[in-house]
Structure 1
Amino acid sequence: MVSVGHTHAQALGRPPTSKRRSWIGWQFVGPFMAVFALIFLAPIGYSIYLSLFRTQLIGGTAFVGADNYLKVLQDPQFWSSFGRVAIFLVVQVPVMLFLALLLALAIDSGRLYGTAFFRISVFLPYAVPAVVATLMWGFMYGTQFGLVGNINEAFGLSLPDPLSPDLILASIGNIVTWEFVGYNMLILYSALRVVNPSLYEAAEIDGAGQLRIIWSVKIPALRGALVIATIFSIIGSFQLFNEPSILKTLDPNLVTTYFTPNLYAYSLSFSGQQFNYSATVAIVMGVITMIIAYVVQLRGMRKAV
């Protein structure tokens, strides 16, 4: 049976209401989709286009298909930089998230004096630009001009050089942890604030102590937030660029041009003029990051369910 509204719309020569609503929805979404396509999809498409070509001094630009991708997969400098950020991720991300979890639990406990001040103090480093934070820590790391050097001189010590090749990755990890532990703490703390208080009351009635409540009530409630924070941290680790590039200006011999995949792609493009190969490196790293983040999300959400 045809509805009265439908026949009335046809009689007036107007399209059915459902069709009009669908177009109205697209009118609302249209501006966002246009900006999304211009800012996000267009650069990705252009990078894929560049990766399919190769520019040579003799012969100019030629279509090479998947040759650039095969070259990346056989590039020892790329895999060296990837292995470095993989080690950085495996060590730094768990430490940072563990500290963020402790801080979130401490604030949520309500037993801290000056909770609001403590919360904003922990979050404040996230508001410091990465360049400023790296320069600040780079100055403190200096053995000739910085805090480490002053301590050695004042107390007659010989502290290890944080900017030495053996410790540079740990030093960068310290900078990143200082910058982002407050950001992740805020994610976890926000998740704790929406936990039903009746769960805490039921646990206390059953005789559960604070440690038992944290382990059996709070941490399970944080699984979704932990998955989100982990995914963001994985993406940030694979995008590591600002910290090593700034520290490189303090000691040009300290950080190589392939220290991280992003720094490698940047050097290929702006120093080596290898735009096509640089785009290929960026795309390969994007695909690897997407796959790892998807696996983490899939496994994390499966455990949460």
Structure 2
Amino acid sequence: MTARVATRPRKRQRMRLAPYIFVAPAVVLFVVFMLVPILYAAWLSFQSYKLEGGGILGTRVQVFAGLDNYISVLSDPALATGFGHLGLYGIIAVPLTLGLALLFALLLDVPAARAKRFSQTAIFIPYAVPGVVAALLWGFMYLPSTSPFSYISRELGWGTIPFLEDPGIFGSIANIAIWGGVGFNMIIIYTSLRGIPDEIYEAARLDGAGELQIALRIKIPLVVPALVLTGIFSLIGALQLYSEPTTLKPMTDVISQTWVPLMTIYRNAFLTDDLPGAAALSVVLAVGTVAVSALVLWLTNRRNKGAQS
């Protein structure tokens, strides 16, 4: 009897420790691969390098630079140009990605729809293609010498389509992101649609509502949280644009080494050996991404509270 009583505190102690043991691997991975690099980048952004000893044989040492790196980054005209390119790209990519994802999700949710499994797979497959591979595939479709679209256009007497020239380059890059991102966002929205009780649809149909009215007045308002989530994902993806313009860069003279902020970060870190400047720009981009996401959430919550009141 005494042994049983003694084992009870041990079992309770193990049960209390169990959640922490299960969470520990995720916490360790987060700290090692997320928190530590973020803190190191923030610390590095306040440093700079200078030569001591004079001459070519001087030793490069790291010194505290304060806000000099941030002032240099924010005053760089290439940064404003890069964010301008991001803005034009985002205006095209984000609305079309969300709009097509919502449209496909609504079409798949129609009771009369056929071949739903095949359609879901066909729409989702582009998301499984790596971004670099997708950019290469579309790049060859954009090149005047290999593009089937330009070939048809020339045969019709319309000339070559300027996919890789200004301003068509923005639509070309946005098309790659849309092609790869619609499937992922569609799955999120479609899953949200499947969570709506069927009784709501049945009541609407009994009142004489058609599928279009049900979609506009019931389905879309109820999947707003999913739309907000996919919208934030799309915004973050737009701010992190890198692989598509970098892959297309050898195919056109329009894209420079600083075409978007992430390309500028890569140039500073690996081409000009300016790690503190790259770290400062990384911090600026990260803070901007968090600020945009927080602003979207705040506007959404404010709109929901206004609608409820």
Under a length normalisation based on structure 2, what TM-score does the superposition of the two structures give?
Answer: 0.88
Q: Deviations over 1:43-65 (max 9, x none)?
A: 10110111010123566321012
1:227 aligns with 2:228: yes
Q: Deviations over 1:22-73 (max 9, x none)?
A: 4443222212111110011011011011101012356632101222122222
How much does 1:137 deviate? 0.7
CA distance in 1, matches of 2:171, 2:240: 17
* Matched AA of 2:78: Q
1:267 aligns with 2:267: yes
* Matched AA of 2:50: Q
The match for 2:182 is: 181
Q: 2:48 aligns with which of 39, 49, 54?
A: 54
Q: Which has the larger displacement, 112-121 or 92-101?
A: 112-121
Q: Deviations over 1:11-32 (max 9, x none)?
A: 9699798776544432222121
Q: Which runs of 5+ in 1 are unaligned?
A: 1-7
Instruction: Check 1:201–1:65 CA distance in 2 against 1; reply closer, same or farther (3 A cut).
Output: same
Q: How many residues align?
A: 296
Instruction: Check 1:14–1:122 CA distance in 2 against 1; reply closer, same or farther (3 A cut).
Output: closer
The match for 1:116 is: 117
Percent identity of paired positions between Structure 1 and Structure 2 = 35
The match for 2:136 is: 135
CA distance in 2, matches of 1:153, 1:159: 6
CA distance in 2, matches of 1:117, 1:110: 16
Q: Which runs of 5+ in 2 are unaligned?
A: 53-59
Contact 1:101 1:185 in 2 (8 A): yes
Contact 1:51 1:280 in 2 (8 A): yes
Q: CA RMSD in A?
A: 2.3
The aligned runs of 1:22-61 (5 Å cut-off) are: 22-57=16-51, 60-61=61-62
The match for 1:297 is: 297
Q: Which has the larger displacement, 144-153 or 108-117?
A: 144-153
The match for 2:56 is: none
The match for 2:71 is: 70
Q: Which has the larger displacement, 232-241 or 103-112?
A: 103-112
Contact 2:141 2:147 in 1 (8 A): yes
The match for 1:3 is: none
The match for 2:276 is: 276
The match for 2:55 is: none
Q: Deviations over 1:201-259 (max 9, x none)?
A: 111222222222112210111111001100100110000000000001223x2211111
Contact 2:239 2:289 in 1 (8 A): yes
The match for 2:98 is: 97
Under a length normalisation based on structure 1, what TM-score does the superposition of the two structures give?
Answer: 0.90
CA distance in 2, matches of 1:210, 1:290: 38
* Matched AA of 1:102: L
